[in-house]
Each structure stands twice: as structure tokens, then as C-alpha cells.
Amino acid sequence: MLLLRALYKLFNQYLMKVNFLFRVLLFGLLGLGIFSCKDEEEIEPIIEEKVNPNIAINKWIKDVMDEVYLWLDEMKTPIANTSDPEDYFESLLNRPTDRFSVIYPDYQELINSLNGIELEAGYEFTLYRESSSNNNVIAEISYIKKGSPAAAAGLLRGDIITKINGTQMTLENYRVVLGTLDKPHTLSFIRFSESAGGFSSQPDVSLTPVQLSENPNFLDSIYTINGEKIGYVVYHFFSPGPGSGSTAYDDQMDAVFLKFKNAGIKHLVVDFRYNGGGFVSSAVNLASLIGPGVDNTKVFSKTKYNSYLMQFDQLKNVQTTFKNKTQNLGNTLKGNRVYILTSTRTASASELIINGLRPYMEVFLIGDKTTGKNVGSIPFEDEENKENKYGILPIVTRSFNSLDQSDYINGFGPNIEAKESSERLKPLGDVNELLLRKAIEQITGVPSGARVQKLDRIDVGSTLERKTRFGNLIENDPIAKEKLTELYQIKLEDN
């Protein structure tokens, strides 16, 4: 028994030695492995993969759209969150119903453009087929902006641009050519001479774009024709002023109407033919100068949001009232009527005024069928992520007048049709200019007797359609904006 115990003790001691040696060997191997790995890391360091910045940008886009998009229930399933933000935004939209939601690479440039501040040479034009027998495209200048390089170069409304940088525009290349207009460029053009009865080539002009602040109050005139005193105002887009908080443009419009009122005009013609939209606040300001008997107790428009937002009390019954304006002309206008000149590029805030005034007076349209935009946008920026420069303009609202009418998705048809493309352009404000002439004939009941050559031209497009503000109705109601911001902050905290 003792022998067995001794043998057992020796065997245990042997096992202990073996285990000790094994542990030493094991730790030694591990040590070699660690130092070996360390050497390998020093030779080939591990490179951490950078997080795709599109993920954060696209998350912001989705968060905003999930809250404010008018067609929330019809919003599409997004593509991969690593996708280009412009493609990601587009993938969410309820096309083709939604014709107007857009994304811009720079929020500040978006805001500047909505206020009429852009890098440009200061002229707008309409594109036409040169002939049905070829694909050439020519450009007829619609108007020249005051204080612009185009004005300094002597360009005029009605000039025909034949080439840009020596390139003949065609149906295939004109979009590419138009993309060069924010850089120095040269125009070849011809001009019509009334005395000669034809067009003649003019010396080429070279233009260098500048950061131009366009004033939407383009022209105002007073005419007395056949005993009728007529006020005429040309307004190109809706903006309260050139910068944040400015109301300079609205104030100028007030001054125009005060001049009309002091002159005792009995008829008003408002020219929206080139007006593609802008800020609701400026539409309210102008409508308040026109409507008869309107004040801050009368409803100009009603605003409705998506199914999610409409459950909040602040957004259930949003109504915008007229303003109290001492310059208001409404009660002095004969026949309780306003004449509005339109084109296919008359859109959004212009149509909001047409719709908002109709319950209070006759709105007589002369020109072409309008665009048809009864929905509005709010510009959004990512205030949490300074690396995200994008700005988005999703459709957020639908507009109604005081009678709950909003049935102009296909545009407003004119009472008298007159297409600007059917004649050579005369200066805006000339009583023989097509649309103004038609308005004067309607007011006086006397044909003008003007002899004009009718043209048959195919309208291809316009530089106006390339403007950020085109087709935009920008909601800037502070109560709604405050509520939307509050909801978004809650969402951020929940996440």
C-alpha cells in the first residue's frame, strides 16, 4: 500500500512537471505570435474603412420626407442609403403625380436663387425651332435685366440669338449649350428693324456673368386710352426682398400701387407671363393690393398638409388672411375686374393669386394656359450636419382658396387666348405689344388697328424653366415652420 502511494506521488509530480513545461511552451508560442503579429502590423498597418458620407445625408433626407412629404402614403421605397443623394431623393418621390419636388447641391445657393440672386449675364430667352425642315434652334430674348452685363452690351428684347460661343444650337445640343451661360460667353445675334422691315446681323457681344440681384418689379406704367385710365405692372417673380428679412421688393410694389391710386386708375393689368412663382408672403402682399374690400379678416388661402401633419392642432386649419393695405385698389376697379396676362410659364404663386382673388372679384386672363401648380414647398437644410450642403424643396402643402377650391392642377385657361410666339416681340409696355394690346382692346372695346405679321413657331423651351424659382410656391408661414421644426427636433431626440 505504501509502495502504491509512493508511486502515485511520483506520478503526480511527473504530471505537474509536464504541465509546467507545457504551460511555458504554450506561453512562449503565444509570445512569439504576439510579437510576430506586431511586426506584421508595423509592416502592413490595417487601414480603417471610412464611413460613406452619403449615409448620413440620405438619412436626413428620409427623416425630413417621412415627416413633411405631401404624398406620404404614396412615398416610394428608397434605394441604397449609400447612393448619391440626388438619386436617393428622386427614388422616394411619387412620380408622375409629383412634378415639382427637387433637391439642390447647395442650400445657400438655393435660397439666393429664390430671392433672385444668381450668377448670370442678365437676359432671358425663349427657344424656337428655326424651321420645320431642320433641327436648328434659335433664341428670342424675352427681357433684359436692369444693371446687367446684357443691358450694358445693348441687347434688347426681341433680338434673335443665332449662335452661342460660335455654336449653332440644335434640338440635340441646346441643353448642353445652355449649361455654359454661367461662364464668359459670346453671342451672335440679329435684330429686326421696323424701318428696314427685316433682320440684320449685329456685331457679336461678349458677356461675363456676375452675381446679379434681379428686382422682380420690372415695369409699371399708366395709360389713358379712349378716356380709360389703366395701370400696368410687370412682375417677374415673388420675393419680398434681396436678402433674409428684407421687404424691399414688397415695399416697392406698395409704392407702385400708391402711385396708381393717386393717379385714379380704373383698370389694372398685371403681367405674370414670365412669373414662375416664389414666396407666398409676397403673393399675399400683392393680392392684398388688388382685392376689393379685403383686410386681415378675409381669407386669401387655406393650406393643407399630409395625413401625419394634419393630426396636429396647429396644422389642422391653416388659413392665410389678406393684409390691411391703404394702397389697395380693389374698390376703384371698374366692373370689379382685374386683368392678368399669362403664359404656359405662369405658375405656382401667380396661380395662387388667381385662385385666391376669384372669390372676391372677376379675374380675367389673357394669354396662354398656365402651368397648373396648386402645391407648395418649404426649403430644408441639415442644421445638424455641417458637412451636408444639400437643400431640398419637397412638396409639402396643397393650396385652396376661401371657397375650398383647388381645381387647377391642369392650369387656368385664358378668357382670351394670345400666344406670344405668334408675333415678333415688341418692348414690354408698348401699347401695341400683343398681350397688353389685347387687354387694352378688352378694356376700351376698341380694336387697336395694329398691323402685325403672324408667325408660326414651335416653342422648344425657355431659360426661365431653368431657374430655381420656376414652378415653386415657397411657404414661409412662421407658425407652420415652427411646428415642423419642433416635430423634427423631437424625431432627432427619439433617434
Q: How far apart are CA 332 and CA 330, in angstroms?
A: 6
The mean pLDDT value for 259-271 works out to 98
Residue of 464, 492, 308, 463 lying closest to 382 (CA atoms): 492
User: In the predicted model, what is the mean pLDDT of the chain?
Assistant: 89
The mean pLDDT value for 255-277 works out to 97
426-459 tens-digit pLDDT:
999 999 999 999 999 999 999 987 778 899 899 9
Which pLDDT score, from 0 to 100, does residue 5 have?
39
Confidence of residue 309 (pLDDT cuts 50, 70, 90): very high
Residue of 402, 327, 406 lying closest to 373 (CA atoms): 406
Superfamily of domain 121-207: PDZ domain (2.30.42.10)
Which pLDDT score, from 0 to 100, does residue 26 have?
35
Q: How far apart are the first and last CA of the chain?
A: 75
Question: 77 burial class (0-12, 13-18, 19+ CB within 10 angstroms)?
Answer: exposed
The mean pLDDT value for 218-246 works out to 95
Asked whether the predicted pLDDT for residue 10 surpasses 60, the reply is no
Question: 316 burial class (0-12, 13-18, 19+ CB within 10 angstroms)?
Answer: exposed
Residue of 229, 230, 231, 233 lying closest to 220 (CA atoms): 233
Q: How far apart are CA 5 and CA 8, in angstroms?
A: 5
Residue type, 358: R
- What's the Cα-to-Cα distance from 105 to each of 88, 384, 398, rounded to whole Å? 13, 17, 26
Could you tell me the residue ranges of all domains in the chain?
53-115, 121-207, 214-377+391-489
Residue 187 CB neighbour total at 10 angstroms: 24
222 vs 465, higher pLDDT:
222
64-122 tens-digit pLDDT:
999 999 999 999 999 999 999 999 999 999 999 999 999 999 999 989 988 889 999 99
Which pLDDT score, from 0 to 100, does residue 25 have?
36
Confidence of residue 314 (pLDDT cuts 50, 70, 90): confident
398-421 tens-digit pLDDT:
999 999 999 999 999 999 999 999
Asked whether the predicted pLDDT for residue 369 surpasses 90, the reply is yes
Residue type, 18: V
142 vs 18, higher pLDDT:
142
366 vs 467, higher pLDDT:
366
Question: 21 burial class (0-12, 13-18, 19+ CB within 10 angstroms)?
Answer: exposed
Which pLDDT score, from 0 to 100, does residue 453 have?
85
Q: Where are the beta strands (DSSP E) in 145-259?
A: 160-164, 167-168, 185-193, 198-201, 205-207, 210-213, 217-225, 228-235
196-226 tens-digit pLDDT:
889 999 999 999 999 999 999 999 999 999 9
CATH topology of domain 214-377+391-489: 2-enoyl-CoA Hydratase; Chain A, domain 1 (3.90.226)
Which pLDDT score, from 0 to 100, does residue 37 have?
45
Give the ranges where 115-171 is alpha helix by DSSP (H): 149-152
Which pLDDT score, from 0 to 100, does residue 278 have?
93
